[in-house]
Amino acid sequence: MFGRILAVTLKELRQLSRDRLSFGMIVGIPLMQMLLFGYAINFDVRGIRTAVVDEADTSYSRALVAELGATGVVRFLAPSASVDELRRRLNAGEISVGVYIPADFERRRLQTDRASVQLLVDGSEPLIDTVARGLAAVPLPQRPGAVAPRTSPFEIRTEYNPERRTAVQIVPALIGVILNMTMVIFTAAAIVRERERGNLELLITTPIRSGELMAGKLLPYVLIGLIQTTLVLVVGAWIFDVPVNGGLLHLYAAAGLFIAATLTLGLLISTVTKTQFQAFQLAFFTMLPSILLSGFMFPFDGMPKPAQWIAQVLPLTHFVEMIRGIVLRGAPITDLGTQAAKLAVFLTVALVIATLRFRKRLD
């Protein structure tokens, strides 16, 4: 009995050694999880993109900006000329925190019961509001012998989510997570399933071209993805009272672009793998970093630079920024052109590679 069990065990080990992709997953998935959870995920958020409007322009206002920068929590970008420009940059997602120092800053400093500085916080991102409230503990520069203020010198305004509800931050981005999971899995097994069922040989004998076959594989799932987008929006608005402040046309345009990008990722996986099991493995291998590095649950600015570079390659990173911008901040898709362009580049490159690999297999 033990000899037969040992024979089957040896057979399975030999078969596994031939399956290089599965063997790589055995090593790759634990390493990836260790790196993501131990290195990339960081609740100690630092380097938040911040801009300042300093209408006072005094030595004390400049000293305050220097004090905030010295904490390392914020990273000041180019200053804004006005509050309207500051709000525009916040609305477009260029910055997460805005610092407004009014022209009567010096007079306010002497009134110990009044706020002297206003912090505008993007409430659509997780943890940013909490970090900004920690910044409010930074004291104002004081003259020797001056009376310290009895209240915080900062007034915090949480934009787009004044109630600071987690559902408002999570539900819009959840559209991207759900689409990323379903679209990649559906299409990752598409070509492999045709091969396993023997349908691929039939398709080869037809006059259909590789690009046409790829497009035909994509289109049904685009419709499915748009239905899923609508379902999440309706449930989010009905149950969690999540507002939709942007235009639906902009929202569905962004969703359609993201769906196409994730579908091409799935098709690319299907041209690399030989079995549906391998396709599911590789799809899972791409989904975990997409979810954890996209800013869905953890602030993007809090991640180390190498993790941010990897996240820039993932479509979900750019869609999370776009969907929060449209749904919560009411930004038009034209203000999110950088993210849309990155998704378009990913879509084009992945589709070309998948088509070329499929042609190579036909040869």
Three-state secondary structure call for residue 18:
helix
**Residue 166 near residue 240 (C-beta atoms within 8 A):** no
DSSP state, residue 155 = E
Range of the domain at 113: 48-159
122 and 180: one domain?
A: no
Domain-embedded: residue 11: no
108 and 240: one domain?
A: no
Q: With CA atoms as reference, report the closest residue to 253 among 335, 329, 168, 171.
A: 335
Query: What is the value of pTM for the model shown?
Result: 0.82
CA atoms within 13 A on the CB side of 50: 28
Residues of the chain with pLDDT under 70: 1-2, 4, 8, 11-13, 15-43, 112-114, 139-152, 197-206, 210-211, 213-214, 217, 358-363
320 and 235: one domain?
A: yes
**Residue 292 near residue 33 (C-beta atoms within 8 A):** no
Bridge partners, 99 (sequence order): 52, 119
207 and 113: one domain?
A: no
Looking at residue 362, its pLDDT comes to: 43
155 and 172: one domain?
A: no
- Token match 């525009």: residue? 88
Cα separation, 340 vs 347, in Å, equals 11
349 and 202: one domain?
A: yes
pLDDT one-digit tens code per residue, 56-97 = 888 888 888 888 888 888 899 988 888 899 999 998 889 999
Domain-embedded: residue 186: yes
Q: With CA atoms as reference, report the closest residue to 282 among 175, 191, 343.
A: 191
Q: Quote the tokens at residue 174.
A: 């959840």
Neighbours of 8 (CB within 10 A): 10
Domain-embedded: residue 6: no
Looking at residue 360, its pLDDT comes to: 43
Domain-embedded: residue 238: yes
Q: Quote the tokens at residue 177.
A: 């997570």
Backbone torsions φ then ψ of 74, nearest 5 degrees: -110, 155
Q: With CA atoms as reference, report the closest residue to 265 among 212, 324, 221, 295.
A: 221
Cα separation, 197 vs 298, in Å, equals 42
CA atoms within 13 A on the CB side of 214: 26
- Token match 């804004």: residue? 80
User: End of a domain among 142, 159, 176?
Assistant: 159
Q: What is the CATH number of the domain that holds 141?
A: 3.40.1710.10
- The DSSP secondary structure of 263-332, one letter per residue, reads HHHHHHHHHH-SSHHHHHHHHHHHHHHHHHHTTSSS-GGGS-HHHHHHHHHSHHHHHHHHHHHHHTS---
Domain-embedded: residue 270: yes
131 and 199: one domain?
A: no
117 and 172: one domain?
A: no
Domain-embedded: residue 207: yes
92 and 229: one domain?
A: no
Q: With CA atoms as reference, report the closest residue to 79 among 98, 93, 63.
A: 98
Cα separation, 267 vs 95, in Å, equals 35
260 and 358: one domain?
A: yes
CA angle 317, 226, 224 (to 5 degrees): 110
Domain-embedded: residue 14: no
Residue 215 amino acid letter: A
**Residue 61 near residue 54 (C-beta atoms within 8 A):** yes
Domain-embedded: residue 88: yes
Cα separation, 116 vs 100, in Å, equals 9
113 and 96: one domain?
A: yes
User: End of a domain among 132, 159, 186?
Assistant: 159
Break the chain down into helix, strand, coil percent, rounded to 5: 65, 5, 25
Looking at residue 184, its pLDDT comes to: 86
CA-to-CA dists, residue 325 to 47, 255, 328, angstroms: 20, 13, 6
146 and 226: one domain?
A: no
CA-to-CA dists, residue 294 to 29, 307, 317, angstroms: 18, 10, 4
Q: With CA atoms as reference, report the closest residue to 45 among 82, 75, 15.
A: 75
Residue 211 amino acid letter: G
Structural domains of the chain, count: 2
The order of strands in the sheet holding 48-54 is 74-76, 48-54, 97-101, 117-122, 154-159
